Structure 1
Amino acid sequence: MIQEIIVYIIIGVVFLILVRGAFKMFMKKGDSSGCAGCSGCDIKPTSKEDKDNKPNSCCH
C-alpha cells in the first residue's frame, strides 16, 4: 500500500514538471531574431560588413 502511494506521488510530480515545462514553452514571448533563441549558432558576423547583414535563419 505505501509503495503505491509513493509511486502515485512520483508520477504526480513528474506530471507537474512536464505540464509546467509545456506551459513555459507555449507562453514564451516571441523572439524577433532569425535564430529564435539559438545561442550556439555557427552563422556569426565576423567583419563589420557582415554585422549589417544578419542571417535570416540560424542553426537549421
Structure 2
Amino acid sequence: MTDKQSKHDKAHDLAEQAVDKAVSGDQDQAKKLAEQAKRMDPSAVEEVSKEIEQERKDAEKHSREG
C-alpha cells in the first residue's frame, strides 16, 4: 500500500467516523473528524458521501419493493 493510498484510507475512515458521530448526536466531534478527513484527502470524504447516498437509494428502493 502506498502512502497516498494509506492516507486516503485513513481519511475515509475518519469520514465514516464523522458520520457515526453525527448519527449518534455528537455534532462537535463529527465536525472535527470531517474537517480532519477533508484536510487529509477531500476525495475520500466525497467517496463516503457517495457511498451513503447509494445506500440511501438502495434502502429506499427495497422499502418500496417489500
Q: Which has the larger radius of gyration?
A: 1
Per the shorter chain, which TM-score range?
0.3 to 0.5
Q: Which has the higher helix share?
A: 2
| TM-score between both structures, scaled by the size of structure 1 | 0.40
| TM-score between both structures, scaled by the size of structure 2 | 0.37
Greater RCO between the two (CA within 8 Å, min separation 6)?
A: 2
